[in-house]
């Protein structure tokens, strides 16, 4: 069992496979893109599997593949199969913007992908193009529908609600999710990278918008994922709507996750740059036990909580020099 210094059990690792993306979402990446990490500095599939294998032996059981946009990485379906074959890994899922999904979903599912989360902030084509700068909404919807047709594959929508997007769009997303038989999760904007420049809508704001249409809400008794989402049921609709609300409803005390960046840095908290660079160990002949020891030490020093709102237990001890400066595409969304 893998625990951090505060006794939290760590079972979930987000693994970024690239910092590249085929979109330029306004709150994630500048229009001109970012200085991309050289291919030689990105972990190979074999290196990713080595780290995941150690994590699994320590207690990691669930892997989320992220980016950038993971579907721009060649051969990504093969990696899914490699990870599913690691003893102890019970589930491998993916977060994607969905643009390339329709052509890859069948192979991904064939290789064992358990679930896919599709990032989609609006169903209005004009607003979608404004937010993503270069996205094609029809391709995303097509990919989503093909994913829904894959037997046994769980499909969810991830939406980051922005103040500049009309309220009606969130009702449309909720209705669309209901009609497709899937769940939408509204994720509060995190002040990371370009996200600091945008004001998002809180969980309570979105709930009030939805309650006007669907009646009163109550917390669902079941949990429908591996992460911190809280799900609500509404009086006039079957199914559930989820909220991931790190800003208004901090879930740090029960955080079960760590992150592995595409360049091999094991990151233990989204806000801080604390962790360990595992790539040099892998590439200089370190033993498995040496890598395991570095892995364990990094997890043991996982921060107690983020300080985005500066109201946490150790807010007074916040150190600016340890604040993460990279954007989400570099960290791994």
CATH number at residue 55: 3.20.20.70
Q: Which residues contact 170 (CB under 8 A, 6 or more apart)?
A: 159, 161, 186, 201, 206, 209, 210
What pLDDT sits at residue 315?
Answer: 44
Reported confidence tier of residue 61, pLDDT bands at 50, 70, 90: very high
Residues in the chain: 333
Could you tell me which residues are beta bridge partners of residue 244?
187
How far, CA to CA in Å, does 206 sit from each of 161, 188, 213?
8, 10, 11
How would residue 322 be classed by pLDDT, with cut points 50, 70 and 90? low
Q: Does this model's pTM top 0.85?
A: yes
pLDDT of residue 93: 98
Taken in order 171, 205, 31, 144, the sign of the CA dihedral is negative
Per-residue pLDDT, 333? 62
Look at 304 and 89; give whichever has higher pLDDT: 89
**Cβ atoms within 10 A of the Cβ of 163, count?**
11
- 7 falls within a domain: no
* DSSP state, residue 122: -
Domain that holds residue 272: 12-331
When pLDDT is averaged across residues 96-121 and rounded to a whole number, the result is 98
Annotated binding site: 14, 21, 25, 27-28, 68, 95, 119, 156, 190, 252, 255, 257-259, 269
From the annotation, which residues make up the binding site for [4Fe-4S] cluster?
21, 25, 28, 252, 255, 269
Domain presence at residue 181: yes
pLDDT confidence of residue 318: 47
Neighbours of 81 (CB within 10 A): 15
Q: DSSP 3-state assignment of 74?
A: coil
Chain segment 262-309, per-residue pLDDT in tens: 999 999 988 777 899 999 999 999 999 999 999 999 999 999 886 665
pLDDT at 82 over 70: yes
Q: Is residue 312 part of a domain?
A: yes
Task: Share the mean pLDDT of the chain.
Answer: 89
Query: Scanning the structure block, which residue is given the tokens 């806000």?
Result: 271
**Residue 76 · residue 104 · CB < 8 Å:** yes
Residue 131 pLDDT more than 90? yes
Residue 80 covered by a domain: yes
**For the CA atoms of the chain, what is the radius of gyration?**
19
Total number of domains constituting the chain:
1
Q: How sure is the predictor about 316, in pLDDT bands with cuts at 50, 70 and 90? A: very low
DSSP state of 61: -
Residue 279 lies in a domain: yes
What's the pLDDT at 307? 64
191 band by pLDDT with thresholds 50, 70 and 90:
confident
Proportion of the chain above pLDDT 70, given as a percent? 89
Q: Which of the four pLDDT bands, split at 50, 70 and 90, describes residue 193?
A: low
Q: What would the pLDDT profile of 194-205 be if each residue is shown by its tens digit?
A: 777 778 899 999
Residue 332 confidence (pLDDT): 63
- Least confidently predicted of 10-14, 26-30, 49-53: 26-30
**Quick check: is 3 in a domain?**
no
1 located within any domain: no
Residues 6+ apart with CB under 8 A from 192: 270, 271, 324, 327, 328, 331
**Annotated binding residues for S-adenosyl-L-methionine, as ranges?**
27, 68, 119, 190
Q: Are 305 and 235 in contact (CB under 8 A)?
A: no
**Count of beta carbons in the 10 Å neighbourhood of residue 154:** 18
Q: What order of strands is seen across the sheet that includes strand 257-260? A: 217-219, 230-234, 241-244, 183-187, 154-159, 115-119, 91-96, 62-66, 12-16, 257-260, 265-267, 275-277
Is 245 inside a domain boundary? yes
């Amino acid at each position: 069992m893998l625990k951090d210094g505060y006794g939290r059990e760590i079972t979930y690792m987000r693994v970024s496979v690239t910092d590249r993306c085929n979109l330029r979402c306004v709150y994630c990446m500048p229009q001109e893109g970012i200085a991309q990490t050289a291919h030689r500095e990105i972990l190979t599939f074999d290196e990713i599997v080595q780290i995941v294998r150690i994590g699994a032996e320590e207690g990691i059981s669930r892997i989320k593949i992220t980016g950038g946009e993971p579907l721009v990485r060649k051969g990504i379906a093969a990696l899914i199969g490699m990870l599913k074959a690691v003893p102890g890994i019970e589930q491998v899922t993916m977060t994607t913007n969905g643009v390339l999904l329709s052509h890859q979903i069948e192979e991904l599912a064939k290789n064992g992908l358990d679930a896919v989360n599709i990032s989609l902030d609006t169903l209005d084509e004009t607003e979608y193009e404004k937010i993503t700068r270069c996205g094609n909404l029809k391709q995303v919807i097509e990919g989503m529908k093909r994913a829904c047709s894959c037997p046994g594959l769980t499909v969810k929508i991830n939406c980051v609600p922005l103040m500049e997007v009309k309220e009606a769009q969130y009702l449309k997303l909720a209705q669309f999710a209901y009609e497709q038989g899937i769940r939408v999760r509204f994720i509060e904007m995190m002040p990371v990278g370009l996200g600091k420049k945008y004001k998002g809508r809180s969980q309570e704001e979105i709930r009030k918008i939805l309650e006007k249409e669907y009646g009163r809400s109550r917390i669902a008794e079941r949990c429908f994922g591996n992460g911190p989402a809280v799900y609500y049921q509404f009086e006039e609709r079957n199914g559930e709507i989820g909220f991931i609300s790190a800003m208004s409803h901090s879930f740090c005390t029960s955080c079960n996750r760590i992150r592995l960046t595409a360049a091999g840095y094991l990151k233990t908290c989204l806000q801080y740059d604390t962790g360990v660079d595992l790539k040099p160990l892998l590439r200089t002949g370190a033993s498995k036990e040496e890598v395991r020891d570095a892995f364990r030490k990094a997890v043991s020093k996982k921060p107690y909580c983020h300080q985005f709102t500066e109201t946490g237990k150790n807010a007074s001890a916040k150190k600016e020099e340890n604040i993460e400066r990279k954007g989400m595409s570099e960290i791994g969304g």
